[in-house]
Every structure is written in C-alpha cells, then in structure tokens.
Amino acid sequence: MNNPIKIAVDAMGGDNSPNKIIKGIELHSLNSNNVFYNIFGKSDLIEPLIKKTSLAKSSYKINHTNDFIKDEDSPLAAAKKGKRSSMWLSIESLKKEESDAIVSAGNTGALFVIAKLNLNMIEKIDKPALSALWPNKTGMNIVLDLGANIECNEKNLIDFSYMGAALHKSLFEKEESKVALLNIGSEELKGNNVIKNTYQLLSEKTNSLFEFKGYIEGNHIMDGNVNVIVTDGFTGNIALKTAEGTANFITNELKQALNSSLIGKISSILNIKNLKRFKNKLDPRLYNGAILLGLDKPVIKSHGSTDEVGFANSLKVCEKIINGKLIEKIKKNII
C-alpha cells in the first residue's frame, strides 16, 4: 500500500469479540482503499478468524497480547493493571505514532481513562467531550457532550462547539456546520446562567468554521435545521438515551401492531420493502461510533453490543476523521 492511513483496533472489547471485530474489518476493507489495520488482542483467537476473510496480508498486523480489559472492570482498576491489555497497547500505538486513530468496542470508562493517561490534550482545551452521530430529517447531527463531563462552564461549551463543528466538517465536508445550544426555551431568557453566557459569547464571535444558530429545544433536535448540538454531559446523556428508549418503544409497539392479526401479517409482508427501508434509516448500526474529542489523537468508541456491520461503520468514522484532518481542524480553529 502507498502510505496508508493506520487504524489501531482493539479486537477484544464488546460482545462477541474478536469475531465481530475481524468481520467488521473485512466489511470495512471492501469499501475502503489504503487502510492498514493495527490489530491488538489474542493472536490464537484472531488468526483463525482472519484467515477466513478476504483481507490481504499486507493490510493488517496482529499485535499479540493475552490481556484485555473486562466490561465490569472499574476504569481506574483497568488503567492500573491493564498496561499489557489490548486496549492500552492500541492506544499506546497512537502515542508511538504507529497508528493514526484507535477504535475499541470495550469498556467505555476504561477507554477514556487510558486514553487520557497516554495522550495529550489539544492546547487551550480544558476538558475532552464525548460526541456521537444522531440522525435528523436531512442527514446527521453531531451531539456533544454525552457524558464525559457532568458539569460544564462557558469555556467548555464553547470548546465543544468548535470541536463538534470540526468533527462535523471532517465527516461531512460539503455541508455547512450549524451549531446550537440545547436549552429548554427558544427565547433568550430561559436556561441557566452558563447557557445564557455561552449564548452571548458565541453570538459575539464570528468564525469561519460554523454558523451559530442560538438555542434548540429537545423536540427540534431531529428537524435538520442545525447539525451540531452542544450541551453538558449530563443533559446530553439523558437526551440521547431518552431518544433511544423512545425509538425502541415505538418500533416495538409497531411490530406488535403489525403482527397482531393474520391480515396484518400478510399486508406487512406485502409492505416488507417499505418497512425495511424505514428500519434501515433508523438502524443504530449506521451511526455507530462515539468520538472522544479534545485529545491530540482520534479515539473512537464503538457500541459494545453492535455487530460487524456496526463495527465496520465505526471504522468508517475513523477513516473519515483521519482523512478529514479532524485534529488539525480543531487546532487551527480553537480559541
């Protein structure tokens, strides 16, 4: 390969790993060029799986280690005893500049603690934030913070705005980035002081990265009028999980309704193509991959329970972030 981008992959995290991880790598490789996978984990498990794939030998390296972080390990315990784990070593390969980004489907808390121990913060940024993709009517939102910081001040929310917009630009280079602050009223009067002050500061500054669109309420997140939604980690986490719960509730109710009679079942079969398209549009695997922003290397967290399709999509996020020069964009724009 000709100077490929290099993704460090923790092969041991999440449900059904390393099976789904290796299958995910294969899926991703089918639609990508010039990517090299630095795979970390138990080679006796990984080798036989990788032999069944169509992956070229030149496109990966298996870095063997027997240790891995368990889902139930506390982040601090994991960081203390996990220096030989697949997660630690894959993050360390960023520090050593052997990889350009890292993705893991393992223990979220441990990933963040180990990433923070090994990598530097980008200058002028106080706190890292967890961001994710969230579908809207016309495309995708970036939403942050989703739980890394329970309490945030004005500086943090402004940093999140710039980092979120830089991420948006890296992933969707042709779109204009439009930032809004999540709040409980669209009038300038509502919300707490931190939000009001942030609104004021973002309104006063102009920048070439994004347009500031003011406040947004929870019911308008998916309207598609803005695409970068900024909030503190507590509120963001509650909003994201409430949306997940609501989506699950509704799709379950729909399934029950459509299967509750013979004629219902028959007409659902007639309608199967349309229902599939509906299901596909809402498929959470399509936007799998949360991005830890603020460190000087890209750290991507795949959902632990996703399958190979979801994992392949988080590899796609890595690839776009590297090619879209996310870290450079943040460094260049942050104030």
Binding site for a second copy (CB under 8 A): 135-137, 147, 150-151, 182, 184, 191-192, 217-223, 231, 233-235, 237-254, 256-258, 260-261, 263-264, 266-268, 270-271, 273-275, 277-278, 281-282
Burial, 325: exposed, middle or buried (Cβ in 10 Å; 0-12, 13-18, 19+)?
Answer: middle
If the CB atoms of residues 33 and 260 are measured against a second copy, the closer one turns out to be: 260
* Least gap, CB of 297 to a second copy (angstroms): 26
* Least gap, CB of 54 to a second copy (angstroms): 34
- Rounded Cα distance between 302 and 146, Å, is 14
Which structure tokens are listed for 78?
A: 């994991």
- Rounded Cα distance between 201 and 309, Å, is 41
* Least gap, CB of 261 to a second copy (angstroms): 6
If the CB atoms of residues 181 and 202 are measured against a second copy, the closer one turns out to be: 181
* Least gap, CB of 196 to a second copy (angstroms): 11
* Least gap, CB of 187 to a second copy (angstroms): 10
Answer for the pair 122, 296: CB distance below 8 angstroms, yes or no.
yes
What is the DSSP code (8-state) at residue 21? H
Q: How many CA atoms lie within 13 A of 228 on its CB side?
A: 28
Helices (H), 259-307: 262-270, 272-282
Among 17, 6, 4, 5, which Cα is nearest to 311's? 17
* Least gap, CB of 194 to a second copy (angstroms): 11
If the CB atoms of residues 120 and 280 are measured against a second copy, the closer one turns out to be: 280
CA–CA–CA angle 40, 42, 47 (5° rounding): 90
If the CB atoms of residues 36 and 287 are measured against a second copy, the closer one turns out to be: 287
If the CB atoms of residues 33 and 280 are measured against a second copy, the closer one turns out to be: 280
Cis peptide bond N-terminal to 4, omega within 30: no
CA distances from 38 to 103, 256, 326 (A): 10, 44, 20
* Least gap, CB of 129 to a second copy (angstroms): 14
If the CB atoms of residues 97 and 187 are measured against a second copy, the closer one turns out to be: 187
If the CB atoms of residues 147 and 324 are measured against a second copy, the closer one turns out to be: 147
